[in-house]
Structure formats: structure tokens, C-alpha cells
Amino acid sequence: MTRAELDKRPADVASMFDGIADRYDLVNDVISLGQDRLWRRATVQAVDAYSGELVLDLAAGTGTSSESFTGKGARVIACDFSQGMLRVGARRRGGASRRGVTFVAGDALALPFADQTFDAVTVSFGLRNTNDCDQALRELHRVTKVGGRLVICEFSHIPVGVLDRVYGTYLMGALPRVARLVTEKTEPYEYLSESIMDWPDQRALAQRLISAGWESVAWRNLSFGVVALHRGYRRR
């Protein structure tokens, strides 16, 4: 199967995720030791979407987390550029637009939505897979209403250097082997390890949000910094 490299060519990334769509959610649960559920729950709480709001869940994959944003009556657009992921998600839900969630194919670097469409935008474990993070952040800003908010949930770095190095050893060595317990397609998880190690730390990502136009930017660590939640607002 196609394995994306750190240049993150869009066709390679999309093809890679198409190839693992059926078991994607199960493998994530296994390699994170169930922590992914806690991380997604924290994201839903941070977005805090309510009735009458429209939320963009970018890099939504199969839409596993998208329905969680509808709990208080919000509507959600689950957007991804992997057709395979979207097909699996729509099949599981019994259609492409059900129970407040609508699946839409789209590229994070050129979102197929008008300016100031969404009350809130969020992306979980997907910003890292774009080949132009800054353009993706600008596009998210463009489609957010003035006063709207952004929440990013993404792998990050443990602030204590020695612990981060231990974590890096796990990522590069053990994670693909753990993935092999539930899937034969381990190449994407080698890419996952490499892309996490290559990703900027919390402070550097916050600065990129600010450069893209987001204001009142802040972050908090989850699981000691293995994952970080970043939040920003569009003020103008």
C-alpha cells in the first residue's frame, strides 16, 4: 500500500488513509491504550457546541468524533479528503447526512466553504497530515465567523526532555509493533511515529496559530503532553 512520507504529498496521504479506513478506529484505540477516547472527549468539551451552531470537524475521518459535537443540538460538517474514510463513516451511520452530521469531501488547504460559515472549527489528529499547516490554519480562519473559535487536538511533545525521548523511542520502535496486533498494514503507523516526532511543540504551534490570524491563543496538555489542545478565536 502507499505509505506517506514527511513531505506529505496529498495523494499519498489520502491513499494511505483510504487503505486503513475499515480498521482505523480500532487500531487507534489499541495503540493509544484507550486514551484516544479521553482526548476526543476533552475536545468536545473545549468546542462546547450548542443548539443553532454549525461546526466544522476537519479531518473527521470516519466521523467517530463528529456526532459527539451534536450533543447540545449543534449541526456538524464532517470534512475529510480521504474518500475511503468518508465512505466507511457514511456506511456505518446509514447515510452521508444523518443525526446532525453531514459528510463532505474537502481539502484542508482549499476548503469548499464560503467565508465565515462556521461558529466553531476543530481538527483532531489531522493538521499534522497536511503538507502546509499554515495554509490550513488560514483556511480554517477564513471559514470561521467573527467571534468563532478553533480547537485543535494533536499529538505533541512531553515538556520534560528525558521523558519525551523515552516517548520518542516508543513511537519509533514499539508503536508499529503494537499496531501489528490488530492490522497487517503497519506502514501508516511508521509514518505516524515519524510525523509526530517531526511536529512542532506546543509553543511553536501556538505561534503558528497567531501568525494565521487567530487571537487569544492558548493550549493545555493532555496525558502529560503526549497530546495538546490548542484554542484560538477569530476576533475580526
Q: Residue 149: beta bridge partners?
A: 120, 233
Instruction: Name, in order, each residue with C-beta under 8 angstroms of 154's C-beta and a sequence gap of 6 or more.
Output: 123, 124, 125, 127, 128, 199, 205, 227, 228, 230
Give the β-pairing of 227-233 and 144-155: antiparallel
Residues flagged as binding site:
62, 80, 107-108, 124
63, 88 contact by CB (below 8 A): no
Q: In the chain, which ranges are continuous DSSP H helix?
A: 10-20, 24-31, 35-47, 83-93, 133-142, 161-169, 175-179, 187-198, 202-211
Residues flagged as binding site for S-adenosyl-L-methionine:
62, 80, 107-108, 124
C-beta contacts of 182-188 below 8 A and 24+ residues apart: 182/23, 182/26, 182/27, 182/30, 183/20, 183/23, 183/27, 185/1, 185/19, 185/20, 185/23, 187/1, 187/3, 187/16, 188/1, 188/3, 188/4, 188/16, 188/17, 188/19, 188/20
